[in-house]
Structure formats: C-alpha cells, structure tokens
Amino acid sequence: MSPSSWRVDLPVAGRPVLVAGGGGGALGPVAALRQAGAIITVLAPTPDAALVDLADRGLLTLHARAGVEKDVRSAWLVVAVSGDDGEDHRIEALADVCGRICLRPGGTAGDRPPSSGTDSAEVGSAGRPAGGPTGPGEVVLVGGGPGDPGLITVAGAAAVRWADVVVTDRLAPLALLDDLRPGVLVVDVSKVPGGGPTTGQDEINRLLVDHARAGRRVVRLKGGDPFVFGRGAEEWQACAEQGIAVRVIPGVTSAVAVPALAGIPVTHRDANQGFTVVSGHVPPGDPRCRLDYAALARSGTALVVLMGVGTLAAIGRALVDAGMDPSTPAVTVADGGLPAQRSVHGTASTIAGLTAAAGIRPPAITVIGAVAGFRPTA
C-alpha cells in the first residue's frame, strides 16, 4: 500500500481503531490516530517503550499479545503495522473475514534500514546496505518541539523526511513518523519515567554511531530542544569521539511553548524580568540536587519546573520555607500541545496537592510566579 493511502480522510474521531503491531513502524500511525481523536487499541507481543508510556498515561489500550478475530470485530478500522509481512497478512485476512477495512501504511518498516542515496539500493540481511560503498553518514540532532507535529521547525521536518533512520523519544512529535519514506527505520529509545522501559544512554549513543558509520542519514528526534534537559550534548560528544559529523536543528523548548499553549506567558513586563528553567528530577534536599532553592525563591523570576510531577510537594515547600509568598500563583500544564492537554491552577503552597489530586502524570510543566495567574481580560 502506498504511503499516500493515509491521505484519504477517515472519520476516526471517537471510533475504535485497532493497531496490530508495536514496533517503530507503529509509532507514527498511532500518534497520527491520536491526534485525530481515535480510540486506539494496540496489540503487540513486545511493544515499544513509547507505546507502553501512552498506555500508562491512559491515552490508549495496550495488550502485549497478537490480535485475534474478536479484537478485529470490535474495531471500526484495523491498521496492520507489525513490520512482519506474514503477521500483517494474517491481520488483513482476519479483517477481510470480519468485514473491516485494514490499512497497511507503507511509510515505516520498523526493522529494515535503507541505504543512503538511492531508494532502490538493496538492503542486506544484517541491516547494512548491500549495494556499493556509501559516503560517511551523519547524525542530525533535531529538536521536535513539544509534541504537536505542527510545532517542529521547517528545517526539522525536512530532516525527518530525508532520514534513513529516525531514533526517537516518547516526547518527540511522533505523528510526523506517519509520513516517512518507505523503508525508513524507526527506533524507539524512550526513557519512561517511574521505572518504565528505558534504553541506556550508551546504547543510544552506539545506535547513532553505528548507523552513521554504515553511511546512513540518522535523525535523532527529540522532544523540545535537544540541549534543554535533552542529553543532546552527550550524544554530540559520543559522535565526535567516533569522528561522526553532527548537525543541530534547534527546537521549540517545552519550557516556553507548553506554558504558552496554556495561555501563560513566561515573562510579562508588569510581573518579572526573567524566567528560570529548572529540572525537578531530584527534589530539594536530595544530595544530588545542585539547585539553590532559597536563591530561586528570591530571584523575582518565574520558575518553570520540568520533570517535577513527583517532586512538586518538596519544591513548593522549599520555596515557601525560603520566603516565597505562599499565595504566589502556580499552574501545572500536562501534555502541552497534544489532544490530552490540561491545566491545573493553584498557588506555590497548593499546586502540588492539586496536581496530584487531578491525577496529572508526566509529561507536565509547572510555572510558579505572578505570570501563572495571567488571564487576558476584555
């Protein structure tokens, strides 16, 4: 099936769609279907981490097994993207029996990296180009923005379209992966917080280096900007050590974009003369924490906390203990720019409790400062 099959308009909003397959080839279709408001069930014996993460956040249903007739019958539409021809045929045949439409988008192959250069070159069984010599590959660190496929830069989107291999994260704009050239390899290296599946940084570095060495155009697609809590520098360093050329395409960081999408300006002439972006990954008081919360409380800047869902109570306490007015406005914004975006409003002293009570899970950003109370008035 040609990639242009996705260009027909299917009214999937609010309808049950079964996605059979959970590897790299499923990420783009799943994200695009989410964006369109489908009710998604993914069936895959060994699902990628990004899909496990979406299931944990309640954004789709995931079963770690192959699809059977009952699954197909309960779907309005079936999408076969296992990356295995035999399995995709089996699902297609089941859909036929059940009178369901089954799509097999060809844009992502999950396990078959193409060679760089011509689209027609043969690919060897070890995943190396079997054709003639290839030029040196390249790694492009692409900032994907906060997750909405419309919020990547023009250069970033062009790099994704041109890639032979896309190494991606759960917070990247995954819907873009629904529109790749046929045969592009998608590798999910998501680190899921809270003890979920994870790919070690050494393994990620090795993937980048190995694919570039094989002459491939590798896009490392990240959420936000690669250099804002994105380990872009570490990956650049790992490539440099191996003599691999690296290019950087900056992205719109969630630290600014997510508050903006929720109507919160990180600066306002009447409120502050700056904003401070911090990681809440380790709480104040933890020996690994190198932030001076007393200084932050006095800074007069809006505080933008990333990765702070689990540590928000300790952060709020540290700020108020250090003299911040407990009634300072605060807001938590989850899933910014995605169909599930929501905000919780409170104050420096209440925001942690309200965020927890609302059942907010990562990814979320909390802004603490007068700007968090901004409401444009008529």
Catalytic residues: 169, 191
Q: Tell whether residue 336 is a contact of ligand SAH (CB under 6 A).
A: yes
Burial class (CB in 10 A: 0-12, 13-18, 19+), 290: exposed
Q: Tell whether residue 146 is a contact of ligand SAH (CB under 6 A).
A: yes
Q: Tell whether residue 306 is a contact of ligand SAH (CB under 6 A).
A: yes
From 335, 172, 350, select the one nearest 261 (Cα to Cα): 335
The span of 63-71, 89-97, 160-168, 329-337 binding ligand SAH (CB under 6 A) equals: 329-337
Name the token pair of 46: 């060994």
Looking at the Cβ atoms of 304 and 318, the one nearer to ligand SAH is: 304
Taking CB under 6 A as the rule, which mask of x and - marks residues 215-254 in contact with ligand SAH? -------xxxx--xxx----------------------xx
Binding to ligand SAH (CB under 6 A) within 166-185 occurs at: 171
By CB under 6 A, name the one of 123, 294, 307, 358 that touches ligand SAH.
Answer: 307
Look-up: residue for tokens 């605060």?
Answer: 330
The span of 7-15, 39-47, 333-341, 348-356 binding ligand SAH (CB under 6 A) equals: 333-341
The span of 42-50, 209-217, 320-328, 360-368 binding ligand SAH (CB under 6 A) equals: 360-368
By CB under 6 A, name the one of 71, 92, 235, 335 that touches ligand SAH.
Answer: 335
- At residue 269, the 3 state secondary structure works out as coil
CA-to-CA distance for 142 and 149, rounded, in angstroms? 13
Site size toward ligand SAH (CB under 6 A) is 26
The span of 40-48, 53-61, 134-142, 363-371 binding ligand SAH (CB under 6 A) equals: 363-371
From 298, 300, 302, select the one nearest 266 (Cα to Cα): 302
CA-to-CA distance for 45 and 21, rounded, in angstroms? 8
Looking at the Cβ atoms of 18 and 264, the one nearer to ligand SAH is: 264
Strand extents, DSSP E, 171-257: 185-188, 217-222, 245-249
Name the token pair of 127: 């995943």
Radius of gyration of the chain, Cα coordinates, nearest whole angstrom: 22
Sheet of 185-188: strand order equals 185-188, 165-168, 217-222, 138-143, 245-249
Applying CB under 6 A, the residues found at the interface with ligand SAH are 146-147, 171, 222-225, 228-230, 253-255, 258, 306-307, 333-338, 362-365
